[in-house]
């Protein structure tokens, strides 16, 4: 069974440029998560989807970040415009329905903003 797929693995951009990350969850997983992991820290949730619906986006900086999950499968996270402080690893995870459904993580996208 294929795991969570993310692309690109690495991205280097200049500040004020837009950037987008893509995630394909494990087949059949209805819950999808985007986490941000700053250097030397643990991941923090940005947004959680149940199928197509964003059910927890309280930590998403909505002035510059946006996300979508069309058809309840793939998801895209966008930053526009990027700032220096956005440099981090962006992790996508997915889980199946259930009280504690194990979250399976992708390899992440390392973003560097110059």
Partner 1 sequence: AQTVTQSQPEMSVQEAETVTLSCTYDTSENNYYLFWYKQPPSRQMILVIRQEAYKQQNATENRFSVNFQKAAKSFSLKISDSQLGDTAMYFCAFMKGETSGSRLTFGEGTQLTVNP
Three-state DSSP state, 71? helix
- State which of residues 11, 64, 78, 110 lies at the interface with partner 1 (CB under 8 A): 110
Short-list 57, 60, 58, 113, CA closest to 86: 113
| Pick 9 or 15: Cβ nearer partner 1 | 9
Query: Side by side, which strands form the sheet with 75-79?
Result: 5-7, 19-24, 75-79, 65-68
Residue 16 or 61 having the CB closest to partner 1: 61
What CA–CA distance (Å, rounded) separates 16 from 94? 30
Question: Restricting to residues 43-102, which ones interact with partner 1 according to CB under 8 A?
Answer: 43-45, 48, 50, 56, 89, 91, 93, 95, 97-102
Q: Which residue has the tokens 């947004």?
A: 47
Given the complex with partner 1, which of 83 and 102 has the nearer CB atom? 102
Interface residues toward partner 1, by CB under 8 A: 31, 33, 35, 40-45, 48, 50, 56, 89, 91, 93, 95, 97-103, 105-108, 110
């Amino acid at each position: 069974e294929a795991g969570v797929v993310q692309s690109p693995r690495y991205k280097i951009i200049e500040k004020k440029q837009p950037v987008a990350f893509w995630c394909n969850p494990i087949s059949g997983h209805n819950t999808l998560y985007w986490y941000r992991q700053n250097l030397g820290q643990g991941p923090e949730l940005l947004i959680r989807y149940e199928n197509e619906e964003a059910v927890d986006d309280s930590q998403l900086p909505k002035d510059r970040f946006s996300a979508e999950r069309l058809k309840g499968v793939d998801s895209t996270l966008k930053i526009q415009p990027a700032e220096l402080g956005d440099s981090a690893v962006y992790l996508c995870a997915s889980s199946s329905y259930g009280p504690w459904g194990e979250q399976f993580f992708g390899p992440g996208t390392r973003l560097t903003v110059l």
